[in-house]
Structure 1
Amino acid sequence: MRRPGVRPVLIVAAVLFGVAVLGIGLVRAATYDPPGAGPVAAAQAGPGVPGRCGNVPVRAARELRGMWLTTVMNIDWPSRPGLPKEQVQAEYRGWLDLAVSMRHNAIFVHVRPSGDAFWESKYAPWSEWLTGRRDGRSPGWDPMEFMVAEAHARNLEFHAWFNPYRGTQPAPSGPGADFGKLAPGHPLLKHRDWAISYPEGARARLYFDPGNPDARRFVEDAMLEAVQRYDVDGVHFDDFFYPYPEGGGHEFKDDASFARRADKSQGRADWRRANVDTLVREMSERIRQLKPWVKFGISPFGIWRNAGTDKAGSDTHGLESYDAIYADTRKWVREGWLDYIVPQLYWAIGFDRADYAKVLPWWSALVKGTGVQLYIGQGDYRVGEKGPWSRPDQLDRQLTLNDRYAVQGSVHFSAKQIRRDKLGAVSRYRDHHYAAPALLPTMRRLPARAPAAPRLVSARQAGGTVELDWQPGPGPEPASWALYRVDGAAADLVAAGRAGAKVADPSPPAGGAAYCLSALDRSGNEGPVSAPRDLSP
Structure 2
Amino acid sequence: MAMAWLSGNKGRAKVISAVVASGLLAGCTSAAGGDGRRADAPVAGGVAECTKAEAPGDSRDRQTRAMWIATVAGIDWPGDPGHSVARKKSDYRKMLDRAKALGVNAVFVQVRPSADAFYKSPYEPWSRWISGRQGRDPGFDVLDFFVKEAHARDLEFHAWFNPYRVGRGTDRTQLHPDNPARRNPSWVRAYGDGLWYDPGIPQVRELTTKVVMDVVRRYDIDAVHFDDYFYPYPESGDFPDGATYKRYGGGKSKGDWRRGNVDTLVKGLSEQIHRAKPWVRFGISPFGVWRNKRTDPAGSATAALQSYDDIYADTRKWVKEGWVDYVTPQLYWEIGHRTADYRPLVEWWARLVKGTGVELTIGQASYRAGEAGAWRDPAELSRHLTLNERFPEIRGDVYFSAKDLIGDRGGSTSRLRRDHYATAAIPPPVDGGRRPAPAGKVTASADAGGVRVRWHLSPSERATSYAVYRVDGKAERCAPVPTDRLLVTTRGAGIVDPTAAAGKTYTYYVTALDRLHHESAPARGATVTAARG
Is 2:509 aligned against 1:520? Answer: no
Map of 1:485 onto structure 2:
470
Query: Does residue 495 of structure 1 match 2:487?
Result: yes
Q: Cα 1:140–1:107, aligned 2, differ >3 Å: closer, same or farther?
A: same
2-structure distance, mates of 1:33, 1:77: 30
Aligned to 1:408, what secondary structure does the other structure show?
strand
Aligned partners of 1:276 and 1:327 also within 8 Å: yes
Once the 2 structures are TM-superposed, how far is the Cα of residue 509 of structure 1 from its aligned partner? Answer: 4.2
- Aligned match for 2:207, one of 204, 208, 218: 218
2:262 paired residue number:
276
What is the CA-CA distance between 1:506 and the residue it aligns to?
Answer: 4.5
Counterpart of 2:278 in structure 1 is 292
Give yes or no for the alignment of 1:183 onto 2:169: no
- Distance (Å, rounded) in 2 between the aligned partners of 1:463 and 1:304: 56
Give the C-alpha shift of residue 344 in structure 1: 0.5
How much has 1:123 moved relative to structure 2? 1.0
**Residue matched to 2:126:** 126
Amino acid in the other structure paired with 1:319? L
Structure-to-structure mapping, 1:101-250, within 5 angstroms: 101-134=101-134, 136-170=135-169, 177-199=170-192, 203=193, 205-247=194-236, 250=237
Distance 2:490 2:223 in 1: 17
C-alpha contact 1:54 1:531 (8 A) present in aligned 2 = no
Contact 1:300 / 1:342 at 8 angstroms: preserved in 2?
yes
Per-residue CA deviations over 1:442-496 (Å, capped at 9, x if unaligned) read 112x3x2321121124221243432222113444341000112234796343333
> Which string of whole-angstrom CA distances, capped at 9 and with x for unpartnered residues, describes residues 494-528 of structure 1?
33334335334342344121122110111111111
Relative contact order, CA 8 A, sep 6+: which one is greater?
2
| Cα separation, partners in 2 of 1:72 and 1:336, compared to 1, 3 Å | same
Indicate if the aligned counterparts of 1:53 and 1:531 stay in contact, CA closer than 8 A.
no
One-letter amino acid matched to 1:68:
W
Whether the 8 Å CA contact 2:65–2:105 is kept in 1: the answer is: yes
- C-alpha distance after superposition, 1:426-448 (max 9, x if no partner): 1110121111000111112x3x2
Alignment pair present for 1:468 and 2:468: no
SS state at 1:95 partner: helix
Given residue 375 of structure 1, which amino acid in structure 2 is its aligned partner? T
Could you tell me how far apart the structure 2 residues matched to 1:186 and 1:468 are? 51
* Displacement of 1:143: 0.7
SS at match of 2:120: coil
- Structure 1 68/434 Cα, relative in aligned 2: closer, same or farther at 3 Å? same
> What amino acid does structure 2 have at the position aligned with 1:428?
R
Equivalent positions of 1:410-429 (< 5 A) are 410-429=397-416
User: Shift of the alpha carbon at 1:280?
Assistant: 0.6
The match for 2:497 among 494, 505, 523 is: 505
What TM-score does the superposition give when structure 1 sets the normalisation length?
0.85
Does the residue aligned with 2:422 lie in a helix, a strand or coil? coil
Distance 2:314 2:78 in 1: 33
Structure 1 SS opposite 2:82 = coil
Q: Which moved more, 1:450-459 or 1:481-490?
A: 481-490
Once the two structures are superposed, residues 208-227 of structure 1 have per-residue CA deviations (whole angstroms, 9 ceiling, x without a partner) of: 11011111011110122111
Q: CA deviation at 1:392?
A: 1.2
Deviations 1:13-38 (A, max 9, x none): xxxxxxxxxxxxxxxxxxx9999999
385-394 vs 413-422, which moves further: 413-422
Equivalenced residue count is 480
Equivalent residues of 1:304, 1:329 under 8 A apart: yes
Aligned to 2:25: none
Distance in 1 separating the partners of 2:387 and 2:101: 23
Q: Post-superposition, which runs of at least 4 consecutive aligned residues in structure 1 deviate over 4 A? A: 32-38, 50-60
Tell me if the contact between 2:286 and 2:329 (Cα under 8 Å) persists in the aligned partners: yes
The letter of the residue matching 1:232 is I
The residue type equivalent to 1:75 in the other structure is: I
Whole-Å separation in 2 of the counterparts to 1:35 and 1:243: 47
Distance 1:106 1:462, change over 3 A: farther
Going from structure 1 to structure 2, the CA distance change for 1:56 and 1:146 (only over 3 Å counts) comes to: closer
- CA distance in structure 1 between the aligned counterparts of 2:448 and 2:338, rounded to whole angstroms: 53
Residues 453 and 495 of structure 2 are in contact (CA less than 8 Å); yes or no, is this contact kept in structure 1? yes
Contact preservation (8 Å) 2:472, 2:505:
no
**For the residues of structure 2 that align with 1:70 and 1:495, how far apart are their CA atoms?**
29
Work out the CA distance in 1 between the residues paired with 2:520 and 2:489: 15
Give the corresponding residue for 1:20.
Answer: none
- Indicate the larger mover: 423-432 or 105-114: 423-432
2:39 equivalent in structure 1: none
1:535 equivalent to 2:528? Answer: yes
Query: CA separation in 2, counterparts of 1:52 and 1:434?
Result: 30
1:335 equivalent among 306, 321, 324: 321
Give 3-state SS (helix, strand or coil) of 1:167's partner.
strand
Is contact 1:482-1:493 (8 Å) kept? no
User: Hey, what does 2:23 align to over in structure 1?
Assistant: none
Q: Distance in 2 between matches of 1:188 and 1:207?
A: 9
Q: Is the 8 A contact 1:450 1:476 kept in 2?
A: no
Gapped runs of 5+ residues in structure 1?
A: 2-31, 39-49, 171-176
Distance 1:279 1:501 in 2: 42
**Would the alpha carbon gap of residues 513 and 401 (structure 1) be closer, same or farther in structure 2, given more than 3 Å must change?**
same
Unaligned runs of 5+ in 2: 14-47, 476-480
Secondary structure in structure 1 of the residue aligned to 2:166: coil
Change beyond 3 A, Cα 1:507–1:52: farther
Aligned position for 2:332: 346
Q: Which residue of 1 aligns with 2:378?
A: 392
Q: Distance in 1 between matches of 2:309 and 2:332?
A: 20
AA matched with 2:412: A
Q: Structure 1 residues 183 and 380, CA, compared in 2 at 3 Å: closer, same or farther?
A: same
> In structure 1, what is the equivalent of residue 302 of structure 2?
316
Moved more, 472-481 or 231-240: 472-481
CA 475–223 in structure 1, closer or farther in 2 if over 3 Å, else same: closer
Matched, 1:374 2:380: no
Deviations for 1:354-383, whole angstroms, at most 9, x for unmatched residues?
Answer: 111111000001000000000000011111
Match of 1:507, SS state, is coil
Q: Secondary structure at the match of 2:205?
A: helix
- More off after superposition, 220-229 vs 267-276: 220-229
Partners of 2:217 and 2:62 lie apart in 1 by 28
Contact 2:161–2:227 (Cα < 8 Å) also in 1: yes
Deviations 1:113-153, CA, capped at 9 Å, x for gaps: 0001000111111110110113x121121111111000001
